[in-house]
Amino acid sequence: MNASRNIGFIGTGIMGAPMAARLAEAGHRVRAWNRSPDKSRALADKGVETSITPLEAVDDADIVIVMLSSGPVCDEIILGQAGILAAMKPDSTLVVMSSIPMGTAQGHARACEERGIRYLDAPVSGGERGAIEGTLAIMVGGEEAAFDAVRPLLECLGSPVHVGPAGCGELAKLANQMIVANTIATVAEALLLAERGGADPARVRQALLGGFADSTILRQHGQRMIEGDFAPGGPARWQLKDTRTAESLAAELALELPVSSLVNGLYEDLVAHGDGDLDHSALIRELRRRNGLPL
């Protein structure tokens, strides 16, 4: 691993907290900021320092990592009136690991270039468990030299892969989120079919493991659906944010994606019915509603 780095970490929610903790435990100095300060203070025993403001967190940082909820929130914190970009030192690197629109990431990259700051968009997949265990899939867009410089640090968090210029990390994440959302919907439908047909859904799931239908979604989220355990690892409202973003990009590219469009509609209804803070595997609840089945 490279020598210890000064890291500013913005956003210590479900995903950000374990990521910041892993970096501190790897020997880096990590100063974190979160809108709810208690979330960053809870990391003190992991060696993470709490900053009162975002500007304090990025002061003299070699690398700033942003793990916030959406594109507008990232724009506010990075580019706003008291945004962190203006406070970052030259030749430092901004790594945005949030799931945001491709165009938003490209706008960040241009703003960074104007200020002599390197930029990477590096969204992740793997959920809270992947963040805790350091097994996240990390899709990185930006200049290859910037990626090479930060790669050892990202390897503390998972498996980083450089996929193209700025914005392409977010493009890869959209592809990931489409696969995740669509597979959740298919697994939910299959388990409902098994249940209504008279089979034990748990045993059907077990029977499918190792075959062509096997997947991380079947293993993890299929089990959640069977147990009715929808404590959020990835809240449904975040999944909807990403399916909407994918829909918008597909429209810009004049692409018709009928399966993804149908699944986006399911998530729209799930959130509208008050389940937005449940895990995205709770989509099975929406299918139960549509079929008049108990939740």
Token pair belonging to 188:
């939910």
- Which residue among 39, 46, 89, 173 is the active-site one? 173
Distance between CA atoms of residues 81 and 88, nearest Å: 14
Q: Is 173 a catalytic residue?
A: yes
CB 86 within 8 A of CB 80: no
**3-state DSSP call for residue 226?**
helix
Instruction: Tell me the two tokens of residue 247.
Output: 């829909």
d(CA 188, CA 251): 27
- Cα separation values, 75 from 32, 38, 122, 208, 240, Å: 18, 23, 16, 44, 20
Q: Which of 197, 219, 196 is nearest to 206 (CA)?
A: 219
Residue type, 34: N
C-alpha torsion sign, points 98, 181, 23, 160: negative
Strands of the chain, DSSP E = 6-10, 29-33, 48-50, 63-66, 93-96, 118-121, 124-125, 136-142, 158-164
Active-site positions read 173
